[in-house]
Amino acid sequence: MKPVNIPAFFHEVFGKRSTVLELALTLGFGVGMSAALLALTYSEWSGLVLWQLLAILLLALDIHGGVIANFTLSTNNHYQAHPVARLVFIAIHVQPILLAAVLGEHFIPCLFVWGYTIVSSFIVNALLGHPAQRTIAAVFVCTGFAGLLLLFGSIPKLLLVMLFFYIFKVVFSFAVDHYARREH
């Protein structure tokens, strides 16, 4: 596929050059998963006021779209070329805290997920170039999923699914260099 130039404003999300297919998949998954999640959890958020619903929608689009965007070669290469930006990007991922604030509840599970994810991501990021980086990230993600289910499995499905995708997005999708050559 022929690459397309990405406007500078979107380099942090999509890198400098991507493909129409990767952009379509990223946007399609972000919108599609957010719509499906909101449709299937209507009873959990139907009592929210408009600003809360809009905030949940924006956070869902960010988390779901970011899961796929972070796997693209363009985004991966952008952050390989800007290692400090990679650290800043990990540090500013406070979506679970924002979710708890918007919902006005579930602060403990959201703080747990946020702290676990950020620490795990910094560890995985520190292992750039290590042959087992992906495997170590997978262990962190699976441990985070299990912890979330075992400790906080009774939270609303809307929040549970968004926290799952958040863990996956930051620890595995973003902190791993998916295109690094690995040798044993």
Whether 183 is covered by a domain: the verdict is no
* Per-residue pLDDT at 180: 84
Whether 137 is covered by a domain: the verdict is yes
CB 81 within 8 A of CB 12: no
Whether 180 is covered by a domain: the verdict is no
* Per-residue pLDDT at 28: 98
Amino acid (1-letter code) at residue 4: V
Whether 179 is covered by a domain: the verdict is no
Distances (CA, A) of 9 to 60, 71, 122: 21, 19, 25
Whether 144 is covered by a domain: the verdict is yes
* Residue partners of 182: CB distance under 8 A and separation at least 6: 131, 133
* Per-residue pLDDT at 7: 85
How many Å apart are CA 80 and CA 183, to the nearest integer? 18
How many Å apart are CA 101 and CA 167, to the nearest integer? 18
Whether 47 is covered by a domain: the verdict is yes
**And the tokens for 167?**
């863990």
How many domains are contained in the chain? 1
Q: What sign for the dihedral angle of Cα 16, 73, 138, 160?
A: positive
Closest CA to 68 of 44, 100, 33, 113: 33
Whether 182 is covered by a domain: the verdict is no
Whether 56 is covered by a domain: the verdict is yes
Q: What is the mean pLDDT of each run of 10 residues along the chain (184 residues)?
A: 83 88 96 98 96 98 96 91 94 97 97 98 96 97 98 97 98 93 71
Domain range for 155: 3-174
